[in-house]
Chain A
Amino acid sequence: KQEVTQIPAALSVPEGENLVLNCSFTDSAIYNLQWFRQDPGKGLTSLLLIQSSQREQTSGRLNASLDKSSGRSTLYIAASQPGDSATYLCAVPNSGYSTLTFGKGTMLLVSP
C-alpha cells in the first residue's frame, strides 16, 4: 500500500527566504507526482505535475524535483512571499485503483 510522508509538518519563515518542502513515497512504481496548494477552507490548486520520466518541473518561483529510485520529491520555493502562506500537499496516483494518495501536507507561514 502506497504511503506518502511530508516533512516538515509546519514551517515558518521570514519573507524572502528560499525554502524546500519534502515528500517521500514508499512505492516507486508511480506514473507521476503532483504538488498542490490549499488555502484554509478552500479546494486544492494544482501547482506542478512531474511525470515519472521527468526529473524536474518549473513554474515561476516554484521548482519540483522527482527521484523515483529513492522515492523522494522536493518542492523548492524561491524568494518566498506572504502570499505563499498555505498548506502544500503532494500526491501520487495508485495505478489501477483510481485514487490519489496524499501526504498530510506542510503548513507554510511566510511572515512579512
Chain B
Amino acid sequence: KAGVTQTPRYLIKTRGQQVTLSCSPISGHRSVSWYQQTPGQGLQFLFEYFSETQRNKGNFPGRFSGRQFSNSRSEMNVSTLELGDSALYLCASSWGGTGSDTEAFFGQGTRLTVV
C-alpha cells in the first residue's frame, strides 16, 4: 500500500516568486492536511481539505492557499514568497480528517528554501 507522496522533495525559490507543492494521499483517504514546520515555531496547521472542500484554515496569510482534486490529491500554493516562508511543508493523509479518531499518516515533506 503506497504511502503519502509529496513532490517535489526540495525547492529553492527567490523572494517574490510563487510555488506549488503537491500531495498524493493514501488511496481511499479523503482528507489531506498541510502543516508548516520551522525550528522556532514547530508544526503549525495550514489547512485541511476533505472531499474537495476546505474544512478549516490555520492562522496564515492569504498568500497561502490550497485545493483538492476529485482524486483527493491536493496542492498548496504560496504566492509572493518571503524569506520567512522557508520551512519543511508536511502533508497528512487520513480517512476521517486529522481532527477525528482516525490515524494520520504523513509524507516525507517538501523542503522550501527562499533566497
Contact A93 to B43, CB < 8 A, known contacts A41-B111, A45-B106, A98-B33: no
Query: Do A36 and B100 have beta carbons less than 8 Å apart?
Result: no
Contact with A along B7-35 (1 / 0, CB 8 A): 00000000000000000000000010100
Query: Do B98 and A98 have beta carbons less than 8 Å apart?
Result: yes
Number of A-B contacts defined by CB within 8 Å? 68
Contact with B along A25-68 (1 / 0, CB 8 A): 00000011010100001111110010110000000000000000
Question: How distant is B6 from chain A, measured CB to nearest CB, in Å?
Answer: 8
Contact A95 to B99, CB < 8 A, known contacts A43-B109, A44-B106, A46-B104: yes
**Residues in chain B within 8 A of chain A (CB atoms):** 4, 6, 31, 33, 42-43, 45, 48, 50, 55-56, 58, 88, 90, 92, 97-101, 103-109, 111
